[in-house]
Amino acid sequence: AQTVTQSQPEMSVQEAETVTLSCTYDTSESDYYLFWYKQPPSRQMILVIRQEAYKQQNATENRFSVNFQKAAKSFSLKISDSQLGDAAMYFCAYRSPLTGNQFYFGTGTSLTVIP
Amino acid sequence: DVKVTQSSRYLVKRTGEKVFLECVQDMDHENMFWYRQDPGLGLRLIYFSYDVKMKEKGDIPEGYSVSREKKERFSLILESASTNQTSMYLCASSSQRGPQHFGDGTRLSIL
């Protein structure tokens, strides 16, 4: 099975600053999907951003962007102009088109935003 | 917007009880999933289903079973609840190539 590693259990950032959350994964596949999910204290997991492995361009959604390094199997999330509402647990996830239906999650990074 | 609805936000049951957790999605998704979430362990897949009446074991299926009689509904069953099944349970659904969409979660306590 694919493994997804988030090596930072906790991170903190000053409001309005930029923070990068790291994620690495292990796979032998060339085509796959990667996701970042956010889980605020209210608990519902919501999708932040997605990246298809065949696309070389890094995905961007407003203040959220990724640095996708396919050869290094790295998929970091950058949050710019951090806001108090960004405080949450962030999970990196991998999906293989071959196994089709399974998602593999990292253990999460808890982000604190300091006013 | 996709909506995934879990029947309870909080549930308290006793050891040995049979417990049903229900999940309904409204986007005609083929795939549905049940996870449990524990601090420091992330999300662990219990079971998933890729079609009606089809199910596949995930990483931690022991002590659980599932039922998918209709496409929109995926039930998780704790056959005989034990205290080590106290946890947060998350249901999710997805299309064949899209991301997962999650419910609000059910915090289950087994006394």
Distance from CA of A90 to the nearest CA of B (A): 10
Beta bridge partners of A113: A13
pLDDT tens digits, one per residue of B85-111: 999 999 999 988 888 999 999 999 999
pLDDT tens per residue across span A40-50: 987 789 999 99
Residues of chain B short of pLDDT 70, as ranges, are: 2
CA neighbor of B93 nearest in space, from B8, B9, B2, B22: B2
DSSP readout, B15-31?
A: TT--EEEEEEESS--SE
Backbone angles phi, psi at A44, to 5 degrees: -70, 130
CA distance A67 to B90: 28
- Span A21-27, average pLDDT: 96
Q: What is the pLDDT at residue A20?
A: 98
Which is nearest to A97 in space by CA: B43, B49, B30, B96? B96
Compute the residue count for chain B.
111
- Eight-state DSSP code of residue A97: T
Mutate which: B25, B43, B66, B96, vs A, most A CBs within 10 A: B43
Contacts of B60-63 with C-beta under 8 Å, sequence gap 24+, read B60/B36
User: Closest residue of B to A31, CA-based?
Assistant: B97
Mutating which of B37, B56, B60, B90 best tests the A interface, going by the most A Cβ atoms within 10 A? B37
- Predicted confidence at residue A100, as pLDDT, reads 60
Give the number of C-alpha atoms closer than 13 A to the C-alpha of residue B48, restricted to the C-beta side: 22
- Identify any residues that bridge with B5 across adjacent strands, giving them in sequence order: B24
Whole-number percent of chain A with pLDDT over 90: 79
Mean pLDDT of chain A: 92
User: Inter-chain contact B97–A33, Cβ cutoff 8 Å?
Assistant: yes
Q: Which residue has the tokens 């605020």?
A: A40
Residue A81 pLDDT: 97
